[in-house]
C-alpha cells in the first residue's frame, strides 16, 4: 500500500498492512510496516493501492 501523509516520515512510501483495528465509531485504522519501521492508526483514506513493480517494469520497457 502507498501511504500518503505529509506529516509522517513515511509519506510516499510503500508498505504492507500488518494489522487492522476498528475504532469505537466503526471506522477501520491500519498498522503498516515499512522497510525501516511502522506507522499505526492510519485511516483508509491515507492509503492507496501501490503500483505493481512488474507493471512499472513493463511500462519502462515500452517507453524505451
Mean pLDDT by 10 residues, the chain (64 residues): 92 96 95 95 93 56 53
Boundaries of every domain in the chain: 2-63
What pLDDT is stored for residue 55 in this prediction?
47
What pLDDT is stored for residue 64 in this prediction?
54
Distance CA 39, CA 47 (A): 12
CATH class of 2-63: mainly beta
Q: Which helix (H) or strand (E) holds 16?
A: strand 16-22
The pTM for the full model equals 0.73
Amino acid at each position: 500500500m502507498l501511504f500518503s501523509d505529509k506529516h509522517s516520515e513515511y509519506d510516499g512510501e510503500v508498505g504492507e498492512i500488518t494489522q487492522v483495528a476498528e475504532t469505537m465509531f466503526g471506522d477501520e485504522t491500519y498498522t503498516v510496516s515499512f522497510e525501516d519501521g511502522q506507522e499505526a492508526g492510519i485511516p483508509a483514506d491515507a492509503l492507496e493501492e501501490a503500483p505493481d513493480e512488474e507493471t512499472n517494469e513493463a511500462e519502462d520497457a515500452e517507453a524505451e
